[in-house]
Chain A
């Protein structure tokens, strides 16, 4: 696992956007072989989305050959509701980049057969050869997507009941009316995320500090579902200084040191590198 620490959320967003742009360029996607990208919602990825949008506007990045899969969507909320993830993704990202609408996938929380919707979502990912890079965030309680504490670490895309914490936290988006907050969501599973060839997680803000510590400094635990990331061969966490508040000094120093080594390795590897291959540095 790599942990990259930057000063603040804006710089974190810029770093990840640069990283994704490089990955897409190195992949050289075509219509027949698109780059498959997993995407999160929430406030954490906003600086990343803004930076990516700026790249599209200055024409240093294109999503013409990118296919996206979103992590989750509420059940029963109209697609054009202000709080739906369809609305969020359109407003904050899709409307401002150049992705063809047919290449956007978001779970349909209003599908008649919700189980079939989940199954076909996994199927679509599979047909495209799996997800190349899954971008994610983390909840205060360490959840990834809607895989709340206690979720199976082997879970796939499915219907999920929201934790009471999450419902309370979301009430502010529904006029503080708890009864109006959806109680269920469709979400990719922990295993769906881990299946991606690369997982990049954004962790910013002091509120996430404990979750970050639990995720990387303790064992794999279904009460902190993102800790399953420890089992992934090529994971990257990008965090700001605030979110490192609960980490041991030793941990921070270790990851800072391997980041420097990683840079050196990349320079050395750059020459014989074959296009489209990601560099699996020895430090990972």
Chain B
């Protein structure tokens, strides 16, 4: 059933907005080009209106979900390559075609730490992929090997590496061909472009902080994870462009009130984030090798006297500074349009207290996004609510699912890899015969419902954490994760309890519940 003029109108539906609200409104789509239309322009300028109206029965027409951290599904593990390109491609295609039943229409296959020589091959196989009835593989998410030994989780310790030569080390491991400049690879029609998207690494690992600038320049999002970074290192990483925290609460130091570390970034204080305040300089002694970092050039405009964040001085000195008059001297014009959304944004900081009720976020940098596994097991519902309440705009739902992810799978023991087995017990996945968590098998639609239940936020606000927030984090919100005119017509239709009723890719229905 197609429309004679190729235009369709979803009517009698709720549309999730970018602010988390749900609005009753029609949505016009060009099913031939697979894009969302500017309805008013189509009407007045193109002088056309949809020939086909689809009554959605009051359900929610959401942008398709994005999962930016997923290790495999339906028995296929993205991190396992068995010398057979064809078999690997088939696995990718199978996952892309089946995952749509969970409402996911875009994903970042995640490669956990590998033996160094495997990377170039594996990553080159993960170029952006999609077909007419499948979810879109946006590229890859490399988790490791530049991570901390003590927070390695399930990563193989022998494969972990330092990045002694900064970005060059990243190139050596991942393969230079897999790290080229961004420019259009994002959504290009052919899949010839490398699909680099996201790197999870620990900023305290030698050389990692040095590589941040170049990663940013190339449009590769950096995520802090599997790390023991102190508050200062974590803050410095964000100021240097880190955009995300990988599976918050997991594989990082617990929240300590004197050094809140990575988790503390969710509460990053405007006081300490002021570009005119030297950072506090409490550094673990193991970080002697950490090189001083330079603030972006834009910081030096406007005559701030000493805006650098050189790590020097002592803890005492930095705490004493809190009692003194702020060191910042001059107001600075707010950044005149950052050239790249991936670069850290610097804003004007107030030189004094203010009287505007409700205005608290006077930050020199944006707080990072954070991936959250909301399966009820990896994070207690209280922790989920704590994180979400402190920074709802940064919340990104991820499944971090293992290859066992399959909503149709029964409880039981299943093979993992290298002769190890895991056991699915309800929503939990454990190493066989133990209570050790072996990863997650939750689906993203379930995470959306859970987030709404755990935090009390509306379904629309929960949807935002699986659509707009991840898309914005990757800088692709014009194409994915939103209902903007020109964005790809990838949808998940949910009832008002968040159950997936159907999934649409490029303007075509590709999955229907119970069909």
What residues of chain A have their CB less than 8 Å away from a CB belonging to chain B?
79-80, 86-87, 90-91, 94-96, 100-102, 104, 106
Contacts and interface: CB of A to CB of B under 8 A. Distances in A.
Contacts of B43: 90, 94-95, 101, 104
Nearest to A102: B47
B316 to A, nearest CB: 50
19 contacts: A79-B44, A80-B38, A80-B41, A86-B44, A90-B39, A90-B43, A90-B44, A91-B40, A94-B43, A95-B39, A95-B40, A96-B26, A101-B43, A101-B44, A101-B46, A101-B48, A101-B49, A104-B43, A104-B44
Nearest to B28: A95
Interface residues of B, number: 11
A80 B47 contact: no
Contact of B40 (A87, A96, A100, A102): A87
Interface string B462-487: 00000000000000000000000000
A91 B48 CA distance: 15
Nearest to A91: B40
A87 B44 CA distance: 10
A96 B55 CA distance: 13
The secondary-structure label for the interface of chain A is helix
Contacts of A79: 40, 44
Contacts of B47: 101-102
Interface of B: 26, 38-41, 43-44, 46-49
B49 A90 contact: no
A94 B44 CA distance: 10
A102 B26 CA distance: 20
Contacts of B41: 80
A80 B485 CA distance: 13
A100 B49 contact: yes
Contacts of B48: 101
Given A101-B46, A101-B47, A102-B47, 6 more contacts: A79-B44, A80-B41, A90-B40, A90-B43, A95-B43, A101-B43
Contacts of A101: 43-44, 46-49
Contacts of A96: 26
A80 B40 contact: yes
Nearest to B39: A95
Given A90-B39, A101-B49, A95 B44 contact: no
Contacts of B44: 79, 86, 90, 101, 104, 106
A53 to B, nearest CB: 11
B241 to A, nearest CB: 35
Contacts of A87: 40
B95 to A, nearest CB: 38
A154 to B, nearest CB: 31
B102 to A, nearest CB: 32
Nearest to B49: A101
A97 to B, nearest CB: 10
A87 B49 CA distance: 15
Nearest to B46: A101
